[in-house]
Structure 1
């Protein structure tokens, strides 16, 4: 059972890497994202709201900027598939789903302008620091909700096992990305904009 789980996890990571991380700029942004995610994980045990501010405000912005603005979206000659195929088989959040998720995230502070208690969930803020701390709590809820929603979608579309493997991948990605992309800035400084090979990663 464990061997099957680890095999599926490796397969999901490999597909994600080869399909969606060909740009060295994207890889470098993922490295920045991964490091800040690790910082957010440390903060999670002290203040989840602050952890969420770091995770969304730095980690997710750098991570998704790499996907939206720098990753090639035409035909993929390395893997011999179209961008449309990649989007269709993406286990996690493809670009269309990411647009929805990021829109909810970006618009969420407006809820506190309209209702500072967020329907009674939060203590009303008294200053800007309190406002952003409450925003952090909203972003924490959106992060947890985004994970649960996709697990449920995968449960319906495929099976619960696929969803559990995917959420494990997402939560451990920061550590794996540091291992995988720690040399990306060096390649980028050498003028290499695209990863030429994608040798299979373990």
Structure 2
């Protein structure tokens, strides 16, 4: 258990210090985290709606922060290159995220032009049915994306890191609220880059 918790802390610290320098990115993560928490609650009531909210609001704001606002050059704070950060990232780096988001975009198109997906599902007959199918498909994509990466990490690194990363992803919304709730105020003050130091994180990484 101690090894699991230390691995979890290290993963969170590396994610914070390497990939969240921009206060715009941090602010978008704060918005994303709140929306994800709402989606978690909605999951027990309407899974399809929860997935639609998570993907259209939470994921788009979160990934927009990484794609458009996070600095991609040499990291002077951590003294590492962007290529290094992309290579060592435990989760989805930019290349993997592009694939993930491409699948996300393709799913509604596939369901629109092939409502039964070749006989795999009951075809929708109206817009409400279409949205339900899209939501369930997106929910399945999210679960599959999480499971596949956990398995990959268990095989290519170790089981502890794979499981710790999976737990980190599930609990990221809560941690992001804790870490980035002050980011919008910093942004309004004109602070575009924020210190990566945080009292809730360890001060050393692997």
TM-score norm. by structure 2 comes to 0.94
Q: Which residue of 2 aligns with 1:194?
A: 193
Distance 1:87 1:193 in 2: 22
1:125-136 superposed matches below 5 A: 125-136=124-135
Distance 1:144 1:197 in 2: 30
Distance 2:156 2:145 in 1: 16
Q: Which residue of 1 aligns with 2:43?
A: 44
Distance 1:163 1:12 in 2: 11
1:152-163 superposed matches below 5 A: 152-163=151-162
Distance change >3 Å, CA 132–CA 155, structure 1 → 2:
same
Q: CA deviation at 1:200?
A: 5.4
Distance 2:98 2:126 in 1: 31
| Unaligned ranges ≥5, structure 1 | none
SS of equivalent residue, structure 1 residue 73:
coil
Distance change >3 Å, CA 172–CA 44, structure 1 → 2:
same
Q: CA deviation at 1:118?
A: 3.0
Q: CA deviation at 1:199?
A: 3.7
SS of equivalent residue, structure 1 residue 18:
helix
| Unaligned ranges ≥5, structure 2 | 202-206
Distance 2:198 2:42 in 1: 34
Does the CA-based 8 Å contact 1:14-1:200 persist in structure 2? no
Does the CA-based 8 Å contact 1:32-1:59 persist in structure 2? yes
How far does the alpha carbon of each residue in 1:89-118 deviate from its partner, in whole angstroms, 9 at most, with x for none?
A: 000000000001110111111221232123
Distance 2:116 2:164 in 1: 35
RMSD, aligned CA? 1.2
Q: Which residue of 1 aligns with 2:56?
A: 57
Q: Which residue of 2 aligns with 1:96?
A: 95
Q: Which residue of 2 aligns with 1:32?
A: 31
Farther off after superposition, 85-94 or 129-138: 129-138
- What is the count of residue pairs matched by the alignment? 201
Distance 2:178 2:188 in 1: 19
Q: Which residue of 1 aligns with 2:104?
A: 105
Q: CA deviation at 1:119?
A: 4.3
How far does the alpha carbon of each residue in 1:3-58 deviate from its partner, in whole angstroms, 9 at most, with x for none?
A: 22111101000000000000000000000000000000001111111110011010
Distance 1:36 1:24 in 2: 18
Distance 1:120 1:143 in 2: 22
Q: CA deviation at 1:197?
A: 4.7
TM-score norm. by structure 1 comes to 0.95
